[in-house]
Amino acid sequence: MNPLLSPFDTAPFSEIKNEHFMPAITQAIADARAEIDAITNNTETPTFENTIAALDYSGYQLDRVSSVFFNLNSAETNEEIQKIAQEASPLLSEFGNDITLNEALFKRVKAVYDQKDSLTLTIEEQTLLDKKYKGFSRNGANLPEDKKVRLREIDAQLSKLSLKFGENVLAETNKFELHITDEADLDGLPEGEKEAAAQMAKAKDKSGWLVTLDYPSYIPFMKYATNRALRKQLSLAFGSKAFHNDELDNQNNVLEIAKLRFERANLLGYKTHAHFVLEERMAQTPEKVHEFLNELLEKAKPAAQNEFKQLEDFAKELDGIDRLEKWDSAYYSEKLKQKLFDLDDEKLKPYFKLENVIAGVFKVAEKLFDLQFEEVFDVDKYHEDVKTYRIYDAAKNFIALFYADFHPRSGKRGGAWMTSFKSQFVLEGENVRPHISNVCNFTKPTESKPSLLTFNEVTTLFHEFGHGLHGILANTVYPGLSGTSVYWDFVELPSQVLENWCYQKEALSLFATHYKTGEVIPMELVQKIKDSATFQEGMQTLRQLSFGLLDMSWHGTDPTAVNDVKTYEEKAFAGTNLYPDTPETCMSTSFSHIFQGGYSSGYYSYKWAEVLDADAFAYFKEKGIFNKEVATKFKDFVLSKGGTENPMELYKKFRGAEPKIEPLLERAGLL
């Protein structure tokens, strides 16, 4: 009996075996195809209900099965699952194309779309109709047959290439180990980090200590280790992932992905991939994105150059460093930060025990949105590290199921993300509630210490939980517009705005207590966190802008003549470089956000959303960070509405006006 083929509410992880996936995906595609055929072959006149709504509700079981599978491929994968992904992805992409290139179905959708002005539709229904029509037209429904065939080929190739890209990055991350046998090489590393490195070595039956390219291992070493040669070795390994001209090399994958995306955009009548993507974003055009990035660059560059000069002088004075390199960045920045603010992560970490921070983010959500969280132990999980919670509102109505998966493992990709196992929607009067998951990579507890987070990890947890709230509080009729189904440059608003609470005394006093003594974080430390929040903000902004510009460089121009990834990347970075280039490294070959995740032509949206979040939080600060009126507006017009309306309209309903860039510049100390 295949557990994925019976209807299930919570994902039946413990019953699923790898051999269940392909039959379940194949069967779910066949069932979804039958639902599509029923819509297409309906002899009644096309209406919103029998065509547009029916289309949005179709394929529910396929969504459930594929979300279980692909979430496992990100958080708990193995070679077998990766092989299945290579087999399943083209099938799913082909099925997606079978829908968007189905002429009879498009005819029905177009029939409804053509009479939209005479239909009495709600705003949500109008948005769905628009989205469905564009889903066809933007994916080739109006193309002649030969071009449709080519489009299918491109989509199948792209789905395989991006999977391969991600597999190579994961394999490269797992492959590298810095094995240390002389304790002197750990000089500068805090005790907790040494213990974690020893524990890692022990887990792999090795003597001494192991440092890896996983963030919780990599970052502390780069920040604290006095051994410059080892920092260099680690930095070069990190920066050269999938750039070794071997079987895990991604240079060809990058070139092929960029060129295929460009060809696809041209087929559909767009100048570049970025023109295609941005038509469905708040930013609308590549020109507008460049204008936005360059305006910020102009503001940030002088600050960044001053900060870099200050760092160079500091490193020279401290250690006689003549030329600051990339592997010196985190180390001397940390030293300078300690000198200027007398603040380092090791002073802060005891106040940020993981369990307390989780309780803290829940408390913030409770005060803002009246949510209540209950840890439960009767929900099936895919790994013992995962915690599960049921979430209720003040009247004890069930709101969502929440999975939290917070520690690195070999089968889990790096970074942090939010995802869902089940969407929210309303069907036949029932409000179907969502199952949402946050996945992060925080230091594991050791034998002597619980998991203590750096302040950066605290903001990451709040960030991902902000995305989580977007899913948890979703309250729309149609699954296709629910939760985070919004314009990509709007999706980061809920996540980035929630980070602001990490800097507020009123919020920190709820959860930042010393893991041994229970003492609340001293207010002078809170003040130092706030004072240091804009430390090297110019350099940080430049770094983010450089990633956005690299993304636009790959996707906003014609890449067909590009044959050298590294040279092309250097050109894109030219206006944002502070450190000398390292020929051995290449960012593009492991830039998973744009070549594997969904951020192609969208990396700028982190900064775009910062403008929104700084403006939104200015409103909270003005009225009080736990002000119920503002929180309710944010919940009603942003968090619960998903993609039911144009995001700028939603934002204006919440804020009363369009966002201004000044709050961001002020917060970043760039005014």
Which residues are within 8 A (CB) of 62 and not within 5 positions of it... i.e. 6 or more apart? 25, 28, 29, 31, 32, 95
Please report which residue ranges of 320-442 form alpha helices under DSSP H.
329-341, 345-348, 354-369
Q: If we measure between CA atoms, which residue out of 86, 64, 85 comes closest to residue 76?
A: 85
Which residues are within 8 A (CB) of 384 and not within 5 positions of it... i.e. 6 or more apart? none
Q: HSE-up of 111 (CA within 13 Å, CB side)?
A: 15
Strands (DSSP E) contained in 398-527 are 398-405, 417-422, 425-427, 430-432, 435-439
Rounded to whole angstroms, the Cα distance separating 10 from 416 reads: 22
3-state secondary structure of 389: strand
Q: Which residues are catalytic?
A: 464
CA 667 to chain centroid, in Å, comes to 23
3-state secondary structure of 484: coil
Q: Which residues pair with residue 591 across a beta bridge?
A: none
Count Cβ atoms within 10 A of the Cβ of residue 129 and give its class: 0-12 exposed, 13-18 middle, 19 or more buried.
buried
Distances (CA, A) of 506 to 105, 388, 465, 511, 624: 55, 27, 19, 10, 10
3-state secondary structure of 107: helix
Which residues are within 8 A (CB) of 437 and not within 5 positions of it... i.e. 6 or more apart? 71, 402, 403, 404, 405, 418, 419, 420, 421, 468
Backbone angles phi, psi at 219, to 5 degrees: -65, -50
The amino acid present at 72, given as its one-letter code, is L
Q: If we measure between CA atoms, which residue out of 624, 628, 626, 619 comes closest to residue 655?
A: 619
Rounded to whole angstroms, the Cα distance separating 467 from 463 reads: 7
Distances (CA, A) of 94 to 30, 160, 167, 293: 12, 12, 21, 36
Name the residue with tokens 């090795």. Answer: 206
Please, are residues 401 and 10 in contact by the beta-carbon 8 Å criterion?
Answer: yes
CA 430 to chain centroid, in Å, comes to 30
Backbone angles phi, psi at 309, to 5 degrees: -60, -45
The amino acid present at 671, given as its one-letter code, is L
Please, are residues 70 and 417 in contact by the beta-carbon 8 Å criterion?
Answer: no
> Could you tell me how many residues make up the chain?
671
Please, are residues 605 and 545 in contact by the beta-carbon 8 Å criterion?
Answer: no
Please, are residues 274 and 552 in contact by the beta-carbon 8 Å criterion?
Answer: yes
Rounded to whole angstroms, the Cα distance separating 487 from 127 reads: 12
The amino acid present at 147, given as its one-letter code, is K
Name the residue with tokens 């003005």. Answer: 622
Rounded to whole angstroms, the Cα distance separating 119 from 103 reads: 23
Rounded to whole angstroms, the Cα distance separating 169 from 239 reads: 11
Angle formed by the axes of helices 492-499 and 605-623, nearest 10°: 50
